[in-house]
């Protein structure tokens, strides 16, 4: 890990993996340590990946002001990282909730981003609506899986606003293209990697202004990749198409058979797609 200081003196950490053109990779969670990204399906063999632990996660320090966990306030940490790396412009890759941070960063500093890759992105920052039926329809693509009969009622409960903590545990298989040993280990590590206090503040009131963000993204002229997973209930392809349409220069891709973590489901396909975009 390498370290730098944020605007308020908080000591922040980031991993450096691989060689090649630099890509700054923002993790999701929200507020989950970057370790879950692994090497992004072998992408580090071709790119120099900079993976920050957002404040209060992983090896990064806890801030004095918990309010700085709010997504819009994290933008200044991304800018501090860019300055620390000595980059005039950077290629930005963001996964899941990290896409909210990327969208806000692009809105505020469009001249600092030369390419933007959004991987199964969250839609909070841009106000796209994902209905319960969107999620259930995507989930039903998995109806032949052996775990489906036990998990689907819990997904129905969650989408009806009646989910419990046990329900969320039960639907874990829906987030992976294959509920195998690798997926189970990946899911088991999540709780220790995530800062629940920070996650509660991440999307607090005032964090997002979707109308303003959508207006800013419509003016963003740099290339954009938006990669969705075919069977991802967190970011269903229909909603991802609506998100992609906000950008003037977007390449939308749906990875077949992939869930919310497409680099785990088909590493070769994921790396090939992202490499083709990143150059």
Q: Are 275 and 46 in contact (CB under 8 A)?
A: yes
Q: What is the mean pLDDT of residues 240-244?
A: 98
Q: Tens digits of per-residue pLDDT, 5-57?
A: 999 999 999 999 999 999 999 999 999 999 999 999 999 999 999 999 999 99
Helix (H) or strand (E) holding 73, with range, is helix 71-85
Q: What percent of the chain has pLDDT over 70?
A: 100
Q: Tens digits of per-residue pLDDT, 183-214?
A: 999 999 999 999 999 999 999 999 999 999 99
Burial class (CB in 10 A: 0-12, 13-18, 19+), 54: buried
Let me know the angle formed at the C-alpha of 199 by 210 and 209, rounded to the nearest 5 degrees.
10
DSSP secondary structure string, 121-179? ---GGGT----HHHHHHHHGGGTTSTTHHHHHHHHHHHHTT---HHHHHHTGGGGSSS-
How crowded is the C-beta side of 16, counted as CA atoms within 13 Å? 10
Spatial CB neighbours of 168, under 8 Å, sequence gap ≥ 6: 154, 158
Cβ atoms within 10 Å of 123's Cβ, excluding its own: 19
Residue 82 DSSP one-character state? H
Report the C-alpha gap between 89 and 21 in whole angstroms: 12
- How confident is the model at residue 279, as a pLDDT? 85
- How confident is the model at residue 24, as a pLDDT? 98
Residue listed under structure tokens 């929200």: 30
Report the C-alpha gap between 50 and 81 in whole angstroms: 9
Let me know the angle formed at the C-alpha of 59 by 51 and 114, rounded to the nearest 5 degrees.
20
Instruction: Supply φ then ψ for residue 191, to 5 degrees.
Output: -65, -35
Instruction: Supply φ then ψ for residue 276, to 5 degrees.
Output: -60, -35
Query: pLDDT averaged over the chain?
Result: 97
Spatial CB neighbours of 126, under 8 Å, sequence gap ≥ 6: 103, 210, 213, 214, 217, 243, 246
Report the C-alpha gap between 11 and 3 in whole angstroms: 7
Report the C-alpha gap between 70 and 19 in whole angstroms: 32
Residue 120 DSSP one-character state? S
Q: Tens digits of per-residue pLDDT, 122-160?
A: 999 999 999 999 999 999 999 999 999 999 999 999 999
- How confident is the model at residue 277, as a pLDDT? 97
Instruction: Supply φ then ψ for residue 245, to 5 degrees.
Output: -65, -10
**pLDDT at position 274 over 90:** yes
Report the C-alpha gap between 244 and 254 in whole angstroms: 11
Q: What is the pTM of this model?
A: 0.97
Q: Are 78 and 49 in contact (CB under 8 A)?
A: no
Q: Are 42 and 69 in contact (CB under 8 A)?
A: no
């Amino acid at each position: 890990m390498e370290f730098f200081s944020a605007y308020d003196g908080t000591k922040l950490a980031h991993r450096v993996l691989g060689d090649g053109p630099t890509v700054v990779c923002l993790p999701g969670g929200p507020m989950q340590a970057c370790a879950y990204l692994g090497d992004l399906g072998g992408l580090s063999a071709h790119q120099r990946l900079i993976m920050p632990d957002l404040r209060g996660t992983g090896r990064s320090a806890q801030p004095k002001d918990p309010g700085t966990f709010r997504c819009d306030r994290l933008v200044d940490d991304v800018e501090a990282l860019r300055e620390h790396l000595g980059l005039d412009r950077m290629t930005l890759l963001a996964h899941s909730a990290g896409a909210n941070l990327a969208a806000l960063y692009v809105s505020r500093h469009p001249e600092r981003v030369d390419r933007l890759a959004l991987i199964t992105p969250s839609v909070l920052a841009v106000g796209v609506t994902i209905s319960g039926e969107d999620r259930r329809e995507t989930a039903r693509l998995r109806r032949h899986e052996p775990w489906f009969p036990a998990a689907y009622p819990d997904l129905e409960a969650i989408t009806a606003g009646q989910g419990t903590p046990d329900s969320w545990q039960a639907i874990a298989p829906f987030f992976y293209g294959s509920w195998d040993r690798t997926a189970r280990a990946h899911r088991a590590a999540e709780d220790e990697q995530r800062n629940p206090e920070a996650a509660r503040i991440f999307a607090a009131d005032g964090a997002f202004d979707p109308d303003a963000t959508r207006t800013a993204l419509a003016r963003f002229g740099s290339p954009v990749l938006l990669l969705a997973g075919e069977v991802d209930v967190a970011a269903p392809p229909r909603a991802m198409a609506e998100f992609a349409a906000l950008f003037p220069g977007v390449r939308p891709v749906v990875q077949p058979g992939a869930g919310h973590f497409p680099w785990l489901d088909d590493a070769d396909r994921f790396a090939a797609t992202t490499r083709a975009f990143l150059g």
